[in-house]
């Protein structure tokens, strides 16, 4: 879903445009470089933390200002499950 949001395309359109190889490449890129929206979220969390500190708030960790899943949530995503969720059915280009 995040990849579709970053491209500004519906999931159905994205699944028709990307081959599985391209999908995996984008997934690796997104994990390694963080998509732009994630970077913006981190920047905003840093600003919010700085404001909280200057307003006399406790020295909370940056993670307190992020909307991340709980630490016990699994980080690994089953690729087959993700394909089903997005209805990803790549077609060979001819």
Asked if residue 11 lies in contact with residue 1, where contact means CB atoms within 8 angstroms, the answer is yes
d(CA 30, CA 91): 23
65-94 pLDDT per residue, tens: 887 766 655 557 777 888 888 888 878 887
* Domain spans, the chain: 2-66+78-86
22-73 pLDDT per residue, tens: 888 887 887 777 777 778 888 999 999 999 888 887 788 888 888 776 665 5
- The pTM (predicted TM-score) of the whole model is 0.47
d(CA 1, CA 8): 10
Asked if residue 33 lies in contact with residue 6, where contact means CB atoms within 8 angstroms, the answer is no
d(CA 81, CA 58): 41
pLDDT score of 92: 82
d(CA 70, CA 27): 21
């Amino acid at each position: 879903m995040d990849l579709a949001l970053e491209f500004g395309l519906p999931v159905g359109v994205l699944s028709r445009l990307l081959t599985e190889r391209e999908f995996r490449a984008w997934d690796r890129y997104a994990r390694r470089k963080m998509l732009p929206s994630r970077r913006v979220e981190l920047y905003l969390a840093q600003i919010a933390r700085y404001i909280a500190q200057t307003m006399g708030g406790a020295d909370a960790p940056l993670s307190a200002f992020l909307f991340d899943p709980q630490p016990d949530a699994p980080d690994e995503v089953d690729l087959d499950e993700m394909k089903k969720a997005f209805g990803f059915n790549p077609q060979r280009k001819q």
